[in-house]
Structure 1
Amino acid sequence: MAAATRIHPTAVVDPGARLGEGVEVGAFSLIGPEVEIGDGTRIGPHCSIQGPARIGRDNRFHGHAAIGGEPQDKKFRGERVDLTIGDRNVVREFVTVNRGTGDGGGTTRIGDDNWLLAYVHVAHDCIVGSHCVFSNNATLAGHVEIGDHVILSGFAGIHQFCRIGMHAFVGMGAFVNGDVPPFVTVAQDGYGRPRGINSEGLKRRGFDAERLAAIKRAYRALYVSGAPLEEARAKLAELAAGSDDVRALLEFVETARRPLLR
Structure 2
Amino acid sequence: MQYVFYVSDGTAITAEVFGHAVLSQFPIPFEQVTIPFVGSLDKARQVRLRIDECAVQSGVRPLLFHTIVDPAVREQVLQANAHAHDFLNTFVTPLEQQLGIKAEARSHRTHGMENTALYDERIEAVNFALSNDDGTSTREYDEADIILIGVSRCGKTPTSLYLALQFGIRAANYPFIAQDMHDLTLPLPLKANRHKLFGLTIAPDRLCDIRNQRRANSQYAALAQCELELGRVERLFRQEAIPFLDTTSHSVEEISAKILERTGLRRQLR
TM-score range, shorter chain: under 0.3
User: Comparing both structures, which one devotes a greater share of its residues to helix?
Assistant: 2
What TM-score do you get using the length of structure 2 for normalisation? 0.23
User: Relative contact order (C-alpha < 8 Å, sep 6+): which is higher?
Assistant: 2
Higher Rg of the two aligned structures: 2
